Each structure stands twice: as structure tokens, then as C-alpha cells.
Structure 1
Amino acid sequence: MRKITVGMVLFPGFQLLDIAGPRDAFAEVRILSKGECEYEILTVGTTRGTIPSSSGLTIVPDRTIFDPCPPFDTVILPGGLGIFQVLEDSTLSEWLVRQHTSCRRIAAICNGVFAFGAAGMLNNRTVTTHWMDAARLSSMFPKAKVEPDLIYLKDGGIYSTAGVTAGIDLALVMIEEDFGKKMALDVAKYLIVYVRRAGGQSQFSPLLEMQAAGDSQIQNLQQYLLDNLHLNHTMASLAERLAMSPRNLSRIFSKECGVSLIAFLNDARIDAARRYLESTDHSVGEIAKQCGFESVDALRRIFTRRLRISPADYRQRFRSNDITRPELQKPLRPPLTGSVS
């Protein structure tokens, strides 16, 4: 029998699914291999006694970071609402650094990666986290390169993932590394999940998070664009609307919003397109016209490049069976002659 020892760290307020998902995936390996392969999993608490999860369910850990532990092959740290209360815990930071030095791989699920940053483990590393925490992670640990759209990422012996259910994606990656692709596929089939999830986090997250200050010229322009996505906007026409040069508009927009005007417009069009895909029966061609794409091919190209999933696949995955949004069912506008892209 081949046995791999895994330590799962628990802190008050940890996300239960971050632990339960990978643990169930690992447990299936022993069943599917008929006992020839096994993950031996120990939970390690940051405090003594019962540890509450963020959902209120509690776990009594097998060990604590104050106790002797067996040599771990793999260490996994979950995320959760409580992670920001343990960032200044020097004992946890020192324990993580020791494990990183001695074990084969160490992983953080969701915002658990903040604890790696607090321990000084992210310098010159490329990592990911939940899309809602990506900007905060970049701000707190500027020496880390944060990739906000990835479901999981591996940089040397440090693994990081997006939020919550991405812990299962992580476990499947590890199972494939340890016991081969067939085993990972068999576990994925049993759990009824994809062994490799299509697309990145952007398919779940809103794209338009960067908004200008209220009542500014740029904020008014943003609203105008959102209300008129079907029009054939150009940098020159928008600059003329604000009585400034295209170069000055480009500079001011990027400064106030953190993204270029063209990136904002494309993201706005993609967000609108996916609302139509989720909530209407409109064809992809009709949606392309309504959202300001110059052609069906342009919509498919930009949509797939940004979300890493095609419009057709997106509609299949996210379409609501109860189409109840009349504002999206209005007649579509005439075809466009072009768009910013």
C-alpha cells in the first residue's frame, strides 16, 4: 500500500467545505483502489479544544500546532472568515514555514493564502485566491503576483486556489500527481464533478468592479456606455462627448477606474451578453447586436478570451430554467456597423 500523509490546518472560523471537499475526494482513493492507495489525513488545530467552522459546525482536531506531528507529505490550509484573525499569530506563521521547508507541497484554499503571505511565503510567488479577495491580497503582499482568474495555481511547492469548491479541484490535481490521471478521473466521476473545470473565476464574478467616483465626468461616461452598449463607440466620439482629446480621456479614465476605457467597454458588453445568455432565448447573433459586438465571431472571440469558456457552453451551464426578466426580453436593436475592440 502507498500511503500519503496529509495535514489539514483548522483555525476558528475556517470554511468547512474547504476541508470536507478535499477530504472526501482523498477518501475515495482508498475505496476505488481497493485499499492499495491511501491518504492518511490528520487535522491540526491552531488552538486547543473544539474549533468552530464559519458555518457553526465544530471539529475536534487530531493534533494542534503546539503538539508533535508526524512528517507530512502535504499540508492544506483552508480559507474562511476567521483567516484575518490569525494573520498575526506568529506561532502559526512559524509552523507553516517549518512545514513548507519539510513537506513536499503546501496548499492554501481560497483566502487561506493570506496566512502564507503573513508568514513571508509569497515573496516572488505567483498565487490565486477567491476573486473577491484578489485586490486585497495584492495590496497586502505586493511582492506576490496574484492571478485573480485562475481556479488553482501551482508555483513550485506552493499551491493556491479560488474559493470554496475549488478545494475539490485542488484535491483532484494532487490525486493525479500522486496516483495518475485515471484515478483522478474516477474520483471526479464518483463525486460528479469535472476533473478539469472549464473557464476561470470570471465566469462567476462580476467584471465591472472598477467604478469612477460618483458624479464625475468619467462616472457619467461609464453610465452612458452601460445604457448604450449597442452604439458604435469610438475613442474619438467619446472624447468629443466630454470635450477633451482622446489621449486625455484615455489617461483620465485609466487613472480613475484602474482599467482602460476599451477594457471597461468590452467587460460591460461581456457582462450584458452573459445576462442575455442566462435569461433569454435570444440567439448568439441577436445578443451580439444588442451588446455592441460587430459580429457573432467578435462576441465569441472576446467572450472566450475573457472568460475561457464559449458563449454556447456558458449558456448551457448557467441558463435559468425560469426566464422571468422582461427587461431582457425587449426587441433587439438594428445591426451595428462596428465596435471598439
Structure 2
Amino acid sequence: MTRQRPAEPLLHPPARTPHRVIMLGYPDAQILDITGPLEVFGRTARWLQDKHISRQPAYTIELVAPEPGAFVLSSGIRMIAERSYREVTRADTLLIAGGIGCYRVMQDQTVLRWIRRMAPRVTRLGSVCSGALILAGAGLLSGRSATTHWDYTDKLRRIDDSISVQPDAIYVRDGNLYTSGGVTAGMDMALAMVESDWGQPTALAVAQELVMFLKRPGGQSQFSAQLAAQFSEDDKLRELQLWILDHLDQQLSVPRLAEMAAMSERNFARRFGASVGITPAQYVSRARLEAARRKLEETDLPVSGVARRCGFGADETMRRVFVAELGVSPSDYRERFRSSAG
């Protein structure tokens, strides 16, 4: 198994002025939407200085909010913005955080006007997670390709049906416009920006320090199976979903699951689809894929052992699912993960 080496410093450090990254936060924003991308830029700046590639910080980062001072995020943690967004007239990269507070921001015409005014002035404009809804509300995604958290894609389409929504993308670049999927995908997007600015060796080195993929295989759908259990409002079905995740090596046909739920097959399939949004068979398949993905990442089990433990049975069955859903074979998936992890 080959491993990629850390990037070597450039022989001739480029002379550059600091690239200003401004993040717009607000009450009830998601904390990782803010801190994740900013950490990527901050870590990159430190790495470039440590390797004597850049004599001054390559990036400066700043968090702004509707008002200066402390504000409470959706997690209950307080963050402090030194300035209001109203004071900002210049930036190189402007990022819009997501979170449950995005709906209030979407109704604030003053914020939307500021984003529209800033858009043509910045080198890059981007959003994290549901921050794409704010960009759409400002009219900046019309006719563009974009993504958001997989649970918000329908909302994004309803705001503006001219948007080409990419529901499974980790991030989407359309010219100088970047949008990212759910929460941690903002870090993937930030790494892509670093790669554009400083090249793949630098981006790879920063990804290795942060124990991240440089380019994550697969899409957002690979993370949806575990999360789907949280979204069923039917207590009986929710308990069954969680049971499935712990018994993937067993026979999980619709007749057996319906019997466990004490329902007829027809009623079970109907209620499951209405509550979870996918069929029982799709849920089982995605749960098995998620479990196999994790075992390939975290264990040394042979591919055949992973296939058996996750309920695929034959290696070939698991290979077909991986290729269809993630675009890589199980062996290639394991190799790509371990190479990226360094």
C-alpha cells in the first residue's frame, strides 16, 4: 500500500499580500460551519509560514455578525464578532455560514443587500450548508449550479427553481461561486480553495495535518443512512431503524421487518416510506454501505470479511454497490482513505 508523502516547500516563495477571508455568522448559526472552514485557512497560513513558503500570513480570517459582540450559536456556545458586517466593505473570500438561524437572516433585507453589494467585489463567494439558502434568497444562485445539506435541497429548489441543485455533491464550484454540503463539507470546500490558491501539495499537507481527505470519495448520500434514524417521528419505526443498524449481518427482508414491527407488509412499507422518505430496502442498503465504508476506513478486515459482517454476503455484491453509489470499488475506497490520512 502506497502512502503520499507530505508536500515539500516551494523553492521560490511567492510574494503575496494576505488573502482576507470574511465569515458571516449570526445567532443560531452552526458552530462547525464557522470554525471548520476558518480553521482550514488558519492552519494553512501557519503551515506556509512554518515551511518558510510565506513570510507573512497567507490568510487573515475574521468573523462578522449582524452586531458586534457576543452572539449565541445553535449549540448554545457564544462566539464574539469584533465588527458588524456593515463595517466590511472589502474582502477576498466571503463565506456565509449555515444553521437554523438562516431563516431569520433570509428575511433580513439589510443583510441580503449587503451580500449582493459585496458579491461583485470579492474574489470568491461561498456558503456552508444551509448558508446556500441565504445566497439564494439574495438572488445570487439564479441559473447557477449549487449544493447544500442533503436535507435542504428541496428548500433550495423552492426558493429559486432556476438553480441547478446538486444534492449529493460535497461542494460545487461554479466560477467564483462555491457552495458546500452539510456542516463538515465546508472544510472540504475550504481545502479546494486552498488548492486553487497554493496548489495541491500545500492543500494535501494541510489535509494531512487535519486528518482529512483532500478529495473525499463519494458524496453526501454516504452519510445519510445513520442520520436517517433521527428523522423518523414514528417511535416504533425509529426503534426498528436503530435495530437494523446493529444487525446488518442478518436477513433483513421486508417480510421480516414488517413482522418485527407487528404490521402487514403493505402497511409497513407505506408507513416506513412516508416516515423515513425511502423504502425499507433502500434504508437497509444504505445502512450496509455506511457500515462497510467505516469498517474499510477503521479496521484491517479483508474485504470479504467486511462484506459478510455488513450483510452483503459475496464480495462482488458489495463491490457493485460501492461502484454504483460511491464510484469506487471497496479496495480502492480503502486505499484512497489511507493515502489521504497519511
Q: Against the structure 1 CA distance between its residues 286 and 56, is the aligned structure 2 distance closer, same or farther, given a 3 Å change threshold?
A: closer
The answer as to 2:62 corresponding to 1:42 is: yes
The answer as to 2:45 corresponding to 1:27 is: yes
How many Å apart are 1:139 and its aligned residue?
4.9
Q: Against the structure 1 CA distance between its residues 194 and 281, is the aligned structure 2 distance closer, same or farther, given a 3 Å change threshold?
A: closer
- Match of 2:143, SS state, is coil
The answer as to 2:79 corresponding to 1:58 is: yes
The whole-number CA distance in structure 2 between the counterparts of 1:284 and 1:188 is 26
Q: Against the structure 1 CA distance between its residues 258 and 28, is the aligned structure 2 distance closer, same or farther, given a 3 Å change threshold?
A: same
- Residues paired across the two proteins, number: 305
* TM-score normalised by L of structure 2: 0.67
The whole-number CA distance in structure 1 between the counterparts of 2:295 and 2:25 is 42
The answer as to 2:223 corresponding to 1:204 is: yes
Q: Contact between 2:136 and 2:160, CA under 8 Å: does it hold in 1?
A: no
**Aligned mate of 2:155, from 137, 145, 168:** 137
Q: Against the structure 1 CA distance between its residues 109 and 151, is the aligned structure 2 distance closer, same or farther, given a 3 Å change threshold?
A: same
**Aligned mate of 1:117, from 136, 139, 152:** 136
**Aligned mate of 2:28, from 4, 13, 24:** 13
The whole-number CA distance in structure 2 between the counterparts of 1:37 and 1:277 is 38
The whole-number CA distance in structure 2 between the counterparts of 1:37 and 1:296 is 49
How many Å apart are 1:314 and its aligned residue?
5.9
How many Å apart are 1:277 and its aligned residue?
6.9
Give CA-to-partner distance per residue, 1:2-46, whole Å, 9 cap, x none: 122222212122224245423423432552524156223333222
Who is 1:190 aligned against? 209
Q: Against the structure 1 CA distance between its residues 102 and 198, is the aligned structure 2 distance closer, same or farther, given a 3 Å change threshold?
A: same
Who is 1:324 aligned against? none
The whole-number CA distance in structure 2 between the counterparts of 1:269 and 1:204 is 11
Counterpart amino acid of residue 17 in structure 1: T
The whole-number CA distance in structure 1 between the counterparts of 2:335 and 2:204 is 25
Who is 1:325 aligned against? none
Rg larger in structure: 1
Q: Against the structure 1 CA distance between its residues 205 and 315, is the aligned structure 2 distance closer, same or farther, given a 3 Å change threshold?
A: farther
The whole-number CA distance in structure 2 between the counterparts of 1:279 and 1:34 is 36
Q: Against the structure 1 CA distance between its residues 27 and 277, is the aligned structure 2 distance closer, same or farther, given a 3 Å change threshold?
A: closer
Which range moves more in the overlay, 3-12 or 23-32?
A: 23-32
- Match of 1:129, SS state, is coil
The 5 A counterparts of 1:295-334 are: 295-308=314-327, 310-312=329-331, 313=333
The whole-number CA distance in structure 1 between the counterparts of 2:164 and 2:175 is 14
* TM-score normalised by L of structure 1: 0.67
Q: Against the structure 1 CA distance between its residues 87 and 299, is the aligned structure 2 distance closer, same or farther, given a 3 Å change threshold?
A: same
Gapped regions of structure 2 (runs ≥ 5): 1-14, 235-240, 254-263, 267-271
Q: Contact between 1:122 and 1:141, CA under 8 Å: does it hold in 2?
A: no
- Match of 1:110, SS state, is coil
Report the aligned-residue RMSD: 4.6
Q: Contact between 2:171 and 2:180, CA under 8 Å: does it hold in 1?
A: yes
Q: Against the structure 1 CA distance between its residues 114 and 212, is the aligned structure 2 distance closer, same or farther, given a 3 Å change threshold?
A: closer
The whole-number CA distance in structure 1 between the counterparts of 2:295 and 2:79 is 42
Q: Contact between 1:100 and 1:106, CA under 8 Å: does it hold in 2?
A: yes
Who is 1:326 aligned against? none
Gapped regions of structure 1 (runs ≥ 5): 215-221, 234-241, 245-252, 319-341
How many Å apart are 1:105 and its aligned residue?
1.3
The answer as to 2:103 corresponding to 1:84 is: yes
Counterpart amino acid of residue 158 in structure 2: M
Q: Contact between 1:270 and 1:303, CA under 8 Å: does it hold in 2?
A: yes
Who is 1:67 aligned against? 87
Counterpart amino acid of residue 45 in structure 1: A
How many Å apart are 1:209 and its aligned residue?
5.2
The whole-number CA distance in structure 1 between the counterparts of 2:292 and 2:48 is 44
The whole-number CA distance in structure 1 between the counterparts of 2:311 and 2:183 is 35
Q: Which has the higher contact order (CA 8 A, sep 6+)?
A: 2
The 5 A counterparts of 1:87-98 are: 87-98=106-117
Q: Against the structure 1 CA distance between its residues 92 and 276, is the aligned structure 2 distance closer, same or farther, given a 3 Å change threshold?
A: same
**Aligned mate of 1:154, from 173, 181, 194:** 173
